[in-house]
Amino acid sequence: MNCFIVTICSLIFSLPVVSQHYTPVDKGSKVHFTIRNFGISTGGDFSNLKGQITFDPQNTAVSFFNVTVDVNTIDTDSENRDEHLKSDNYFDVEKYPVISLKSTKIDATDKAGVFQLTGLLTIHGVTKQISFPFTATQQENDYLFAGNFELNRLDYSVGESSAIMSNTVNVSLSVLAKRD
């Protein structure tokens, strides 16, 4: 009988840990961007996060991010500027209502809690590969994922070249993901 219990216990404890599934939520999250316009740094936020995240810090090969934000939620603290950015001159929300990020690879780094995401970012119907480091901080059963990256807005056909507006956009992500 003891041999049977030992065998069962060893089987249970030798099973691989399965990755957990998470859903990004707006409360506790922030998708922020900054850009220089007229020599002044200005920015805004997007919300209405949706998607699926599978994350296992011990087995990044099974980890996966597929997340979107609603471009209609852009908030720059100026209703006129928001409407202008939603127009076909910039984001064209009628045709392209979401910005999406889908990982193709997640790698652990040599720093604890820091990972490297490589994936496909789609803005304004244009998809480009990006790669950036992010942190994963466990908060009870949930995770807070945070990272920063730069992009060239012209690579995504957002607006036109301008002497007064920078082409470089800095993006800061802080995404709270609740365990399913």
Residue by residue, DSSP assigns 2-33 as HHHHHHHHHHHHHSPPPPEEEEEEEEEEEEEE
Does residue 107 have a pLDDT over 90?
Answer: yes
Q: Higher pLDDT residue, 124 or 18?
A: 124
What's the whole-number mean pLDDT along residues 37-44? 95
Does residue 3 have a pLDDT over 70?
Answer: no
pTM: 0.89
Q: Higher pLDDT residue, 67 or 18?
A: 67
CB 64 within 8 A of CB 106: yes
Residue with tokens 């409407």: 83
Distances (CA, A) of 88 to 8, 32, 93, 124: 62, 21, 7, 10
H or E segment at 80?
Answer: helix 79-86
Q: Give the pLDDT confidence score for residue 155 in this predicted structure.
A: 98
Residue with tokens 């082409």: 167
Interatomic CA distance for residues 74 and 98, integer angstroms: 11
Distance spanning both ends of the chain, measured CA to CA: 38
Q: Give the pLDDT confidence score for residue 175 in this predicted structure.
A: 98
Q: Give the pLDDT confidence score for residue 19 in this predicted structure.
A: 77
